[in-house]
Amino acid sequence: MSWNRPLIIGLLVVLLAMTWWRLHPAEEEIRRSQLLMGTVVEIVAGGQAIESLESAVDAAFAEIARLDKLLSRYHQTSEVTRLAESARGSKVSVETMEVIALGLDVAQRSGGAFDLTLGKLKALWGFDQETPTVPDHAALSIALNGIGPRALSLQGQQVNKRAPQLQVDLGGIAKGYAVDRAIAVLKEHGVVSAAVNAGGDMYLLGQRPGRAWRIGIQHPRQTETVLETVQVHDQAVVTSGDYERFFEQDGVRYHHIFDPKTGLPARGCQSVTIIADSVALADALATAVFVLGPEAGLQLLTEYPQAEGLIVAADGTLHSSPGWARYRVAP
Amino acid sequence: MKTPWQIMTAGDWLVVLLLLGISFTGLLWVATTAEGTRVVVTSGGQTSFTAPLNQPRTVDLDGPLGQTHLVIDNQGARITGSPCPRKICISMGTAKQTGDLLACVPNRILVRIDSPVGEEAAYDLLSR
Amino acid sequence: MTCSAVESAELTRARRQVFLALFIAIAVTLHVLETLLPTPVPWLRLGLANIMTLVALYLYDGRAAWTISLARVGIGALLLGRLFSPGFWLAAAGAIVATSAMIVMHRVAGRRLSPIGISAIGAAGHALGQILAARLLVIQHPAIWQIMPLFLFFTLFSGILTGWLASGLLEQLQQHPAFQKNEADNNTSADDYVERACR
């Protein structure tokens, strides 16, 4: 037929146009991940041109890497290591000071359930090694010697240790702090909609196009199931669970959230999720509440009116703080 | 190639008109009686809160004047308290059908009932 | 081309198999390419692949139509990476309802309905099947029925479009000897075509 060729050419043009359209979607959003702080850190950012988003996200990752070097127990030149090696304490940078100040506040209010001086204890258990084992009673006592909310004191940027063998470990709060700083960097670059997720500790900035961020909370025992879904914007969500890092010995599960009183894994909860204004606070509170157990944990949360929590107790029952329901959208 | 009307038989027209009729009737029925499934709150143009309509809850919505109290229960959604001077929003009653609106203009709160269906993912990120 | 003394029935069967395979390939291609088109709702598609189902129905029979439509759903899902996903079951349900409806109406109405009418019914069947499956499997909420009327409306138009295109295609194909049935009332049968080529 005479109109065969033009028709075919026309169809090819339409096909090309559609492919082109598909390659340049209108909604700009980028997802980037990097291995930092011993976990996968994912940043989702959207709402503006890709080039500016890319540079903002790069800056955010750089900030997290910088803080990792500063606060991590594993870096030989970190301020935490320096503190551990010093006898009486040392001067620290403003960031470290802020982290320690916040950590000490939670440590005191939680009666020591959250503790910044568990460096020796964590090294003893060796969760970051290939084969962790249960330490014996004597080793545990040594590791717990001198710890507690009063073991550290802060005077301006000077950190003082009450005992020379104390090793500061900011692991339960540093990741959160890094995420908070990353968000600040993104905001400085003009990003208004983003999510920074460091292995489950996350902050949701602004909203997704059209609706708030929806965060699923992992069921502590059924890995494919979501316990609840919450909707947040401009808030932090942190979950601490006994399923994240653990090993089994003689049929007993040992996880990485320790009760500072015994040096053994806390047994009161299966998981705790905290929604708060900052990830550092949510991080510290999640650990504290986990160690305290459901009743004392909820009691602690009343001292932080802007924070809400969901607790899965050791027996699987759910407990939530009074204001939690406003975030829940499912079930 | 022949145009569609050249090909279509009387039977075809019957089928098409019948299906059109069914879809239009359905559309009208849906538009007038459908209960909504979701509450969407926007303040200042941005969506600030959404919740399913079938779960009772009370929520405080923040606005420039203060907090507007929204109650969702089995009757629907309604405003029970607001810092605005004339409380018109409270007198708007209960919103339940798709498309119903409640608004507190001074506090810039807009509550809408809709029935979203489709590709909404269960969650954006997982906290673990 | 080797010409052996092959039974006419076997030849017909072989010819049918080859063409059905070809139709399946075309249907799958249409199905996959369709996903490039922009749509208001992600799973709302034009359903151009149904052209081939219709063509198979008219050129052969109901069984051929089933072959095309089920193979298209399965292979299309394989290619798009959606095999056994919820979307796959929706499409499968839609295809089953649509194909059954089209075969039944074709049998019942015969000449009174053109491919356009049959296609419109097929489109409605597709919509019904998908919504039913969605209600049962994906969205356990009665609100799903609320989109049915709108869905039906859109699929009606795509059904007419598909039927029209199928009509045009059928017009061309039915003239070709390869698709002539071996009934006595055709002067040029496909077998004669082969025989002539063998001489």
* Tens of pLDDT, residues A275-294: 999 999 999 999 999 999 99
On whether both B91 and B58 belong to a single domain, the answer is yes
- Compute CA C36 distance to the chain's CA centroid, rounded to the nearest angstrom: 20
Domain span including residue B43: 38-114
Banded pLDDT at C185 (limits 50, 70, 90) = very low
pLDDT at B33: 63
Torsion angle (degrees, nearest 10) of CA A18, A23, A29, A33: 150
Tell whether A218 is within 8 A of chain B (Cβ): yes
Spatial distance between the Cα atoms of A64 and A162, rounded to a whole number of angstroms: 30
CB contacts of A18 in chain C (<8 Å) are 36-38
Can you list the domains of chain C with their CATH numbers? 8-194 (1.10.1760.20)
On whether both B54 and B98 belong to a single domain, the answer is yes
Q: What is the pLDDT of residues C82-117, one digit of tens each?
A: 777 777 888 899 999 999 999 999 998 888 888 999
Q: What is the pLDDT of residues C124-155, one digit of tens each?
A: 998 888 888 877 776 555 556 666 777 777 88
Residue C183, pLDDT > 50, answer no
Q: Is B50 within the bounds of a domain?
A: yes
Domain with residues A29-72+171-330, CATH architecture: Roll (3.10)
CB contacts of A218 in chain B (<8 Å) are 126-128
CB contacts of B12 in chain C (<8 Å) are 113-114, 116-117, 120
Specify the CATH number for the domain of residue B106.
2.60.320.10
Chains near C with 3+ CB pairs less than 8 A apart are A, B
Q: Which is more confidently placed, C3 or B43?
A: B43
Within 248-287 of A, beta carbons closer than 8 Å to B belong to 273
Contact B48, B61 (CB under 8 A): yes
Banded pLDDT at A298 (limits 50, 70, 90) = very high
Q: Are residues A207 and B47, on separate chains, in Cβ contact within 8 Å?
A: yes
CB contacts of B58 in chain A (<8 Å) are 326
On whether both B71 and B84 belong to a single domain, the answer is yes
Average pLDDT, chain C: 81
Indicate the burial class of B10 (C-beta count within 10 angstroms; 0-12, 13-18, 19 or more).
exposed
Q: Which is more confidently placed, A76 or A307?
A: A307
CB contacts of A15 in chain C (<8 Å) are 33, 36
Spatial distance between the Cα atoms of C138 and A177, rounded to a whole number of angstroms: 39
Tell whether A4 is within 8 A of chain C (Cβ): no
Per-domain boundaries in chain A: 29-72+171-330, 79-161
* Least confident among A13-17, A203-207, B75-79: A13-17
Tell whether A19 is within 8 A of chain C (Cβ): yes
Q: Is B43 within the bounds of a domain?
A: yes
Residue C17, pLDDT > 50, answer yes
**Measured between alpha carbons, how far is residue A184 from residues A89, A194, A236, B31 in Å?**
29, 11, 13, 45
Residue C190, pLDDT > 80, answer no
What is the percent of chain C with per-residue pLDDT over 90, rounded to a whole number? 37
Tell whether A101 is within 8 A of chain C (Cβ): no
CB contacts of B23 in chain C (<8 Å) are 149-150, 152-153, 156
Count of structural domains, chain B: 2
Tell whether B10 is within 8 A of chain C (Cβ): yes
Q: Are residues C117 and B8, on separate chains, in Cβ contact within 8 Å?
A: yes
Closest residue to B125, CB basis, from A195, A211, A329 = A195
- CATH 3.10.20.30, domain A79-161, yes or no: no
Tell whether C38 is within 8 A of chain A (Cβ): yes
**Residues contacting A197, CB < 8 A, separation 6+:** A41, A42, A43, A44, A179, B125
Spatial distance between the Cα atoms of C167 and C114, rounded to a whole number of angstroms: 8
Mean pLDDT of the region A16-20: 75
pLDDT at C165: 92
pLDDT at C12: 84
Spatial distance between the Cα atoms of B61 and B40, rounded to a whole number of angstroms: 12
Mean pLDDT of the region B11-38: 80
* Least confident among A24-38, A284-298, C64-78: A24-38
Q: Is B119 within the bounds of a domain?
A: no
Q: Is the dihedral of CA A203, A209, A211, A217 positive or negative?
A: negative
Which DSSP state fits C100?
A: H
Banded pLDDT at A29 (limits 50, 70, 90) = confident
Distance from CA of B99 to the nearest CA of A (A): 17
Q: Are residues A22 and C36, on separate chains, in Cβ contact within 8 Å?
A: yes
Q: Which is more confidently placed, B16 or A49?
A: B16
**Measured between alpha carbons, how far is residue A130 from residues A125, A126, A127, A133 in Å?**
11, 8, 8, 10
Torsion angle (degrees, nearest 10) of CA A199, A203, A209, A215: 60
Closest residue to C149, CB basis, from B12, B23, B119 = B23
Q: Are residues C146 and B30, on separate chains, in Cβ contact within 8 Å?
A: yes
Q: Are residues C150 and B23, on separate chains, in Cβ contact within 8 Å?
A: yes
**Measured between alpha carbons, how far is residue A62 from residues A94, A212, B54, C137, C156 in Å?**
18, 27, 45, 45, 54
Spatial distance between the Cα atoms of B60 and B93, rounded to a whole number of angstroms: 17
On whether both B8 and B68 belong to a single domain, the answer is no
Residue C199, pLDDT > 70, answer no
CB contacts of A326 in chain B (<8 Å) are 57-60
Mean pLDDT of the region B4-9: 81
Q: What ipTM is given for this predicted complex?
A: 0.78
pLDDT at C187: 44
Banded pLDDT at C34 (limits 50, 70, 90) = confident
Mean pLDDT of the region B71-95: 87
pLDDT at C69: 94
Locate the chain C residue with the closest alpha carbon to B33. Answer: C146
pLDDT at A306: 92
On whether both B65 and B96 belong to a single domain, the answer is yes
Residue C184, pLDDT > 50, answer no
pLDDT at B119: 43
Locate the chain B residue with the closest alpha carbon to C135. Answer: B117
Tell whether B4 is within 8 A of chain C (Cβ): yes
pLDDT at C118: 93
Mean pLDDT of the region A185-193: 91
Banded pLDDT at A241 (limits 50, 70, 90) = very high
**Residues contacting C71, CB < 8 A, separation 6+:** C24, C27, C28
- With CA atoms as reference, report the closest residue to B111 among B74, B73, B83, B71: B71
Q: Are residues C167 and B34, on separate chains, in Cβ contact within 8 Å?
A: no
Contact A263, A206 (CB under 8 A): no
On whether both B24 and B57 belong to a single domain, the answer is no
Which residues pair with residue B37 across a beta bridge?
Answer: none
Residue A59, pLDDT > 50, answer yes
One-letter amino acid identity for A258?
Answer: F
On whether both B78 and B26 belong to a single domain, the answer is no
On whether both B70 and B105 belong to a single domain, the answer is yes
Q: Are residues A216 and B48, on separate chains, in Cβ contact within 8 Å?
A: no
Top residue of A7, A11, A22, A23 to mutate, by most chain C CBs within 10 Å, is: A22
Average pLDDT, chain B: 81
CB contacts of C160 in chain B (<8 Å) are 4, 16
On whether both B101 and B64 belong to a single domain, the answer is yes
Residue C182, pLDDT > 60, answer no
On whether both B49 and B110 belong to a single domain, the answer is yes
Q: What is the pLDDT of residues A84-138, one digit of tens each?
A: 888 888 889 999 999 999 999 999 999 999 999 998 898 889 887 778 888 988 9
Residue-by-residue DSSP string for B69-87: EEEEETTEEEEEE-SSSS-
Banded pLDDT at C19 (limits 50, 70, 90) = very high
Mean pLDDT of the region C27-53: 81
Cut 0.80: pTM above it: no
CB contacts of B57 in chain A (<8 Å) are 325-326, 328
On whether both B52 and B104 belong to a single domain, the answer is yes
Top residue of A33, A192, A237, A326 to mutate, by most chain B CBs within 10 Å, is: A326
